Amino acid sequence: MTAATRADPGSARPPGGLLRHRDFRLLWAGQAVSSVGSNVTAVALPLVAVAVLDAGTFQVAVLTAAAWLPWLLIGLPAGAWVDRLPRRQVMVVCDVICALAFLSVPLVAAVGLLTVGQLLVVAVVAGTARVFFETADQVYLPVLLRPEQLPEGNAKLHATQTVSYIAGPGIAGLIAQLAGAVAALLLNALTFLLSAVLLLRIRTVEPRPGSPDASRSLRRDIVEGLRFVARDPYLRVLTLFGAASNIGLTGYQAVLVVFLVRELRLAPGLVGLLVAVMSAGGIVGALVATVLGRRYGTARALLIGAALTGPPALLIPLAAPGLGLIWPALGGLLIGLGVAIGNVVKASFRQAYTPHHMLGRVTASMHLLNYGTIPLAAVLAGALGARYGAGTAISVMTAWLALTPLILLMGPLRRRRDLPAAPAAS
């Protein structure tokens, strides 16, 4: 597929860069408000479970697992379907589904019928919508932008996503402190509705996905995407690293709220503030990722990001009340910096490197392992926390995370300055 079919020629690098690109601004704004809502959920949903329903450590961890379980169950068919469907329409429908799911929590709570079971259902429904939304989003960005614009576009999207990691928990903690955790989920529903409205205003006409040959089954499309990732040395090692690092990241994050509330005795507002501070490094990471890629090479930028993601995790278990909160704040800052650098470089590489007609399947195939390990890690961390305490669970998971950068050294990245522009076979 040529560049002309992947982006509107009239939208190619207008004066002022992507800030002057109307449709990208709408996509950017829609993702920003949606991300704020998602990160309100990351703190508000566990706070509802702990503060309102008195849920235990394992139940809270299962709640985190439920939000990510759909990646493991439907990630591959979702990728194949996204390659066949209009991506913007998929994203709008997903936003509406999320809004309705989160709106159900304050409505049911108002009549006194809220249960942990309903929170689990909401987490699964929203997680399922997220599978389709994030896969479609990765395929839709190259429709709006030319290949040379993708690094800038991904950097901007990741920067605002990281801002949402700060704003979302902070807002959730503040609202939980003032009006209760359930009220934060009402705001969450409104952010998804606003995201849907912004996406509907995009004018770029998306090329119609090729109609699948009647003889081609969904299973065959899925296998084709899996085979492409498994055989490619770059996508393969990036997938393995993402899966391994997400075990550590999700593992400690799944029990972090319980640890801060029950073992360190922090107030909900301070919990939201600390989680926000821990996420702040991602803003810098997203902003410097393209600079690092240009100066040192994209392959080396990935290795730098991995080094920042791993060893600093060992600072988080040192958390203690008062000045001891500096350690998790610093560890989280460095982890956020490294994760953002890696995500910007990896997303831009995958979007430019993969044949566009396969991008949905390739993205979903990588996410199957990247995100499929998340519910397993959350359950494991919850079991460890229930048996030995949340602090011990965090120590185990951060120790694992510290070792994961070694995986990237097993692939071809260590021998290259830059990632390739296209698969060797082409």
Q: List the single range of 36-45, 129-138, 363-372 with lowest mean pLDDT.
A: 36-45
The CATH number given to whatever domain includes residue 153 is 1.20.1250.20
> How do residues 70-117 score in pLDDT, each as one tens digit?
888 888 888 888 888 888 999 999 999 999 999 998 899 888 888 888
The predicted-structure confidence for 326-337, as pLDDT tens digits, reads as follows: 999 999 999 989
Whether 210 is covered by a domain: the verdict is: no
With a cut of 50, say whether residue 3 has pLDDT above it. no
Q: Does 288 reside within a domain?
A: yes
Report pLDDT for 311.
94
Residue 359 covered by a domain: yes
Flag whether 286 is in a domain.
yes
pLDDT of residue 312: 95
Tokens of residue 58, six digits: 């394992």
Where in the sequence is the domain holding 148, given as residue range(s)?
18-204+217-415
How many domains does the chain contain in total? 1
Q: pTM value?
A: 0.70
Cβ contact 93:404 at 8 Å: no
Asked whether residue 92 is domain-assigned, the answer is yes
Q: Where are the alpha helices (DSSP H) in 180-232?
A: 181-200, 218-231
Please calculate the CA angle 152-237-66 and round it to the nearest 5 degrees.
Answer: 80
Residue 354 sits at the vertex; the CA angle it makes with 348 and 360, to the nearest 5 degrees, is 90
- The percentage of residues in the chain with a pLDDT greater than 70, rounded to a whole number, is 93
408-419: pLDDT as tens digits:
998 899 889 999
What confidence tier does 284 reach under pLDDT thresholds 50, 70, 90?
Answer: confident
280 within a domain of the structure (yes/no): yes
| Secondary element (H or E) of residue 122 | helix 116-144
More confident residue, 409 or 282: 409
Task: Count other C-beta atoms under 10 Å from residue 15's C-beta.
Answer: 6
Q: What mean pLDDT do residues 124-136 have?
A: 91
Position 14 pLDDT exceeds 80: no
> Which residue blocks in 7-111 are alpha helix, DSSP H?
22-47, 57-82, 87-110
Q: Is residue 4's pLDDT more than 70?
A: no
In a domain, 352, yes or no: yes
Q: Is position 8 within any domain?
A: no
Cα-Cα-Cα-Cα dihedral of 11, 31, 132, 372, to 10°?
120
